[in-house]
Every structure is written in C-alpha cells, then in structure tokens.
Structure 1
Amino acid sequence: MTAVKIAVFSDSHGDVDHMEQAVRRERPYLVLHLGDLVRDFQELQSRMPMQTMQNVCGNCDGFTEVPDQRVLLVEGRRILMTHGHRYHVKQTYGPAYYAAREAEADVLLFGHTHIPYCEREGELWMLNPGSCRGSGGTYGVIDLGAEEIRCEIRRMGDGAPKNEGCV
C-alpha cells in the first residue's frame, strides 16, 4: 500500500477560494467535504474537475439528495464521514464515536462545531477540521500510510499545522 493524502474540509459557508488554494497546495489524492455547504463542494468540483472528491450534507444544506453520512473504503481503511449534527457533536462526541465503532471505522470525520479537533481514541482517529472559512480557517489532512494513519489540522492561510499533538 502506498501513502495516500486526503484533505478534509467542513463548514465552508461560501468560501470556495480558500478550499481551492489549499487543494492546490496539498495536492491530495482525495478531497472530502463534511457539509455546510453542498453548493460550495459543487463549485469546488467544477473548478477542479480532475480531482477526486466526496461529500456529505450538513444542517445548513436544506433539501438535498446528498446523504448526511458515508462510509468510504480508502486503501483498506474505513472512513466514516458525517457533518455531525445528527450525532449532536456540539454537546458530546460520544454518539459519533459509537457510530464509528459500529461502522468499524479507522477514522471518524465530522464538522458542525467549527472547532478543530484531532485525537486518537484507541485505534480510532477522530478529526473535525473546523471551519475552512477565511484565511484563519482550518482544514484537516490525513495521511494513510502503509503502517499507520496520521492526522493533523492545518491553517487555511499557510497550511502550517495548527497543533502538533495530532500526528
């Protein structure tokens, strides 16, 4: 298995430009958007049609046929994507954690809070990229290596790690 880089965005709320800049800087294999707003994801797709992307909807997306949860299999690793509002992540991460365990996920991705979070709970990585809106916004980067998974939060403006404890 080769190392695979994934860029993770959430809660863009109209800021497609900063996501595009980050994708061009990171050059990920896969781009994931965790909702709020689906139309931002669609605009990013139209700007970068050759880039592999996947998304879920959020609580601000209104009626859409985009699901609010997906389980992806990437390089043999299971990734649970959700916006998080259905799991009440603003109150506690517990229900989302248990949903990820039930899905046998290696990585749980959620947004909704606009607060970056990156921790490993046993064998499960939990990553909330925060809000990617504005130059001070944040996004997540996941490296699926042959031996291990590494996750971190980066600042939208410069791509530098926001906190060192996430790898």
Structure 2
Amino acid sequence: MPALANNRHEIFAQELAKGKSQVEAYETAGFKNGQKNAHRLGTDEGILRRVAEIQSERAEMDRKATEKATEALAIDKQWVMARLVENVDRAMQAEAVLDNEGKPTGEYKYQGSVANKALELLGKELGMFIERTENVHVVHDITDEPLSPDQWADQHTTPH
C-alpha cells in the first residue's frame, strides 16, 4: 500500500506506527485538538491498514539489520550461550576480576543477580523451564440463607 493520499492522514498513520497516542498523532499531523476526531480517524480501516503496513516494513528492516549485524559480527547461538556461561562463571566468583591489561587483580566479586539472569536465559534457550499460569475462578453464591456447619467447613478447608 503506498503512502496515503491525504498528507495529514499519512503523518497521523506514521505517528501511530511510532507508538504515539491517537491524540498526539492527530495534533502532530496538524489537526486541531479533538479527542473524538482523533479516535474516529484512529479507527478508520484505511489508517489501520497503513499503520500495520508501516509497522511491518519497520519490523522487516529491523530483521534484516539484525541479520546483517549477526553475520558481520559472527554472532550465533553458540557464541551467545558461551558468553552467558562466561557471565555465570564471573558472577559466581569462578573467575578473577581482570584489569585493563587482562591480568588478574586477585579480586573475586559475587553478583548473584547477574548469575541468575544468565542461568535463566540459558535455561529458557534449552527449554528447561515451562511457563505456568493459573486461572483461579472463585464463585460465590449470594443468598439470605445461613450456611450449614458442613457448608461453612467446606468453604474454609478447600483452597480457592
């Protein structure tokens, strides 16, 4: 889809694609302050298609740039995982702190949060963790009748 014929609409779509609110995009496009009109224009099918197209083009450009940088720097999964293991070793005091010339300073420093994050990333890459979500729905019956002793016991002994 080419740029929108109405220049203000194109600017509005570009600004929405950048993540601005409808009102901010509306005003940046040169329209007067108007929340209702910003919302109306922001729900227009042509505008929405253009925003999706712009975001898709940007995502593709980002993907290509990342691919190019990855090739140029010889970064691959093995390289990243090796660096994560290196971070764990350093953070867990398994390696000495080095000075600017690469010589050990004799200092060892524990950084638990660094080690944990590196281990988490490695574990996720290796499929060691399962994302768990719990949907707990509690249903309460509202009634004028008092609970029997058994009903009261059931409500206070079973987890909700």
Quick check: which has more Rg, 1 or 2?
2
TM-score, shorter chain, exceeding 0.5:
no
Larger fraction in strand: 1
- TM-score of the superposed pair, with normalisation by structure 2: 0.18
- TM-score of the superposed pair, with normalisation by structure 1: 0.17
Bigger relative contact order, structure 1 or 2, given CA contacts below 8 A and separation 6+?
1
